[in-house]
Amino acid sequence: MRRPSPSTRKTAVPDPGDSPGPGATAAQLLDAAAEVFAARGFRDATVREICRRAGANVAAVSYHFGDKARLYAAVLRETGRRAAAVADPARDADPRQPAARRLEGFVRSLLSRILAGGPASLHGEILAREMIEPTEALDRVVSEFMRPQAEHLNGVIRELVGPRVPAAGIRRLGLSVVSQILFYKHCRPVLERLYPDQCPDAGRLEELTRHITAFSLAGLRGFARPRKPPAAD
Amino acid sequence: MRRPSPSTRKTAVPDPGDSPGPGATAAQLLDAAAEVFAARGFRDATVREICRRAGANVAAVSYHFGDKARLYAAVLRETGRRAAAVADPARDADPRQPAARRLEGFVRSLLSRILAGGPASLHGEILAREMIEPTEALDRVVSEFMRPQAEHLNGVIRELVGPRVPAAGIRRLGLSVVSQILFYKHCRPVLERLYPDQCPDAGRLEELTRHITAFSLAGLRGFARPRKPPAAD
B182 and B119, same domain (yes or no): yes
Residue B210 lies in a domain: yes
What is the predicted pLDDT for the residue at A15? 45
Whether the predicted pLDDT of B72 surpasses 80 = yes
CATH code of the domain covering residue B123: 1.10.357.10
The band of A99, judged by pLDDT with boundaries at 50, 70 and 90, is very high
* DSSP state letter for B197: G
Domain boundary among A34, A66, A98: A66
B40 and B119, same domain (yes or no): no
A54-57: long-range contacts, CB 8 A cutoff, minimum separation 24: A54/A5, A54/A6, A54/A8, A54/A25, A54/A28, A54/A29, A55/A5, A55/A6, A55/A7, A55/A8, A55/A10, A55/A28, A56/A8, A56/A10, A56/A14, A56/A25, A56/A28, A56/A29, A56/A32, A57/A10, A57/A11, A57/A12, A57/A13, A57/A14
Residue B12 lies in a domain: yes
The verdict on A94 touching B (C-beta cutoff 8 Å) is no
A192-195: long-range contacts, CB 8 A cutoff, minimum separation 24: A193/B138, A193/B139, A193/B142, A193/B143, A194/B142, A194/B146, A194/B147, A194/B150, A195/B171
With H, G, I as helix, E, B as strand and everything else as coil, classify residue A138. Answer: helix
B113 and B209, same domain (yes or no): yes
User: From its phi and psi, is residue A3 left (phi > 0), alpha (psi between -120 and 50) or beta?
Assistant: beta
Residue B73 lies in a domain: no
> Cα distance from B63 to chain A (closest Cα, Å)?
30
CB–CB of A50/A36 below 8 Å? yes
Whether the predicted pLDDT of B7 surpasses 70 = no
Residue of higher predicted confidence among A112 and B17: A112
CB contacts, 8 Å: A220 with chain B? 215, 218
Cβ pair A173:B222 closer than 8 A:
no
Domain boundary among B66, B96, B114: B66
What is the predicted pLDDT for the residue at A18? 44
B92 and B195, same domain (yes or no): yes
Least confident of A181-185, B19-23, B56-60, B217-221: B19-23
Q: State which residues form the domain around B13.
A: 1-66
B110 and B19, same domain (yes or no): no
CB contacts, 8 Å: B128 with chain A? 131-132
**Alpha helices in chain A, H assignment, sequence order:** 22-44, 47-54, 59-64, 68-86, 99-115, 122-130, 137-141, 147-161, 167-186, 188-194, 205-221
> Cα distance from A122 to chain B (closest Cα, Å)?
13
Say how many residues make up chain A. Answer: 233
Residue A4 lies in a domain: no
CB–CB of B56/B8 below 8 Å? yes
The verdict on A216 touching B (C-beta cutoff 8 Å) is yes
Mean pLDDT of B146-175: 96
Chain B residue with CA closest to A214: the answer is B230
Whether the predicted pLDDT of A1 surpasses 70 = no
CB contacts, 8 Å: B231 with chain A? 214
Mean pLDDT of A8-21: 44
SS3 assignment for B73-102: HHHHHHHHHHHHHHCCCCCCCCCCCCHHHH
Whether the predicted pLDDT of B1 surpasses 90 = no
C-alpha angle B141/B144/A179, rounded to 5°?
60
B54 and B119, same domain (yes or no): no
- Is the pTM higher than 0.80? yes
Whether the predicted pLDDT of A49 surpasses 50 = yes
Whether the predicted pLDDT of B230 surpasses 60 = no
Cβ pair B179:A180 closer than 8 A:
yes
B24 and B1, same domain (yes or no): yes
The verdict on B167 touching A (C-beta cutoff 8 Å) is no
What is the predicted pLDDT for the residue at B201? 78
pLDDT in tens, B127-139: 999 999 999 999 9
Task: Calculate the average pLDDT of chain A.
Answer: 87
A108 and A31, same domain (yes or no): no
A93 and A163, same domain (yes or no): yes
What is the predicted pLDDT for the residue at B232? 57
With H, G, I as helix, E, B as strand and everything else as coil, classify residue A94. Answer: coil
Interface of B with A in 50-69 (CB under 8 A): none
Interface of A with B in 137-156 (CB under 8 A): 138-139, 142-143, 146-147, 150
Residue A8 lies in a domain: no
CB–CB of A148/A90 below 8 Å? yes
B35 and B149, same domain (yes or no): no
Task: Calculate the average pLDDT of chain B.
Answer: 87
Residue A16 lies in a domain: no
Report how far residue B27's alpha carbon sits from residue B16's, in angstroms, rounded to the nearest whole number.
15
User: From its phi and psi, is residue B11 left (phi > 0), alpha (psi between -120 and 50) or beta?
Assistant: beta
Whether the predicted pLDDT of A169 surpasses 60 = yes
A61 and A153, same domain (yes or no): no
For residue A152, what are the contacts with CB-CB under 8 A and spacing of at least 6?
A89, A90, A93, A106
Least confident of A199-203, A209-213, B30-34, B70-74: A199-203
Residue of higher predicted confidence among A198 and A156: A156
Closest to A35 (Cα-Cα) out of A54, A59, A20, A63: A54
A91 and A52, same domain (yes or no): no
Q: What is the ipTM of this complex?
A: 0.85
Residue B71 lies in a domain: no
Whether the predicted pLDDT of A70 surpasses 60 = yes
CATH code of the domain covering residue B50: 1.10.10.60
Residue B169 lies in a domain: yes
Report how far residue B33's alpha carbon sits from residue B97's, in angstroms, rounded to the nearest whole number.
40
Element of type H or E holding B184: helix B167-186
The band of B116, judged by pLDDT with boundaries at 50, 70 and 90, is confident
The verdict on A204 touching B (C-beta cutoff 8 Å) is no
C-alpha angle B59/B64/B66, rounded to 5°?
80
Whether the predicted pLDDT of A204 surpasses 60 = yes
Number of domains in chain A: 2
Cβ pair A198:B232 closer than 8 A:
no
What is the predicted pLDDT for the residue at A232? 57
Cβ-nearest to A187 among B44, B131, B172: B131
Using alpha carbons, list the distances in angstroms from residue B81 to B50, B121, B124, B185. Answer: 21, 11, 12, 19
CB contacts, 8 Å: B232 with chain A? 100-101, 103-104, 210, 213-214, 217
User: From its phi and psi, is residue A78 left (phi > 0), alpha (psi between -120 and 50) or beta?
Assistant: alpha
Mean pLDDT of A54-80: 95
pLDDT in tens, B18-53: 445 557 999 999 999 999 999 999 999 999 999 999
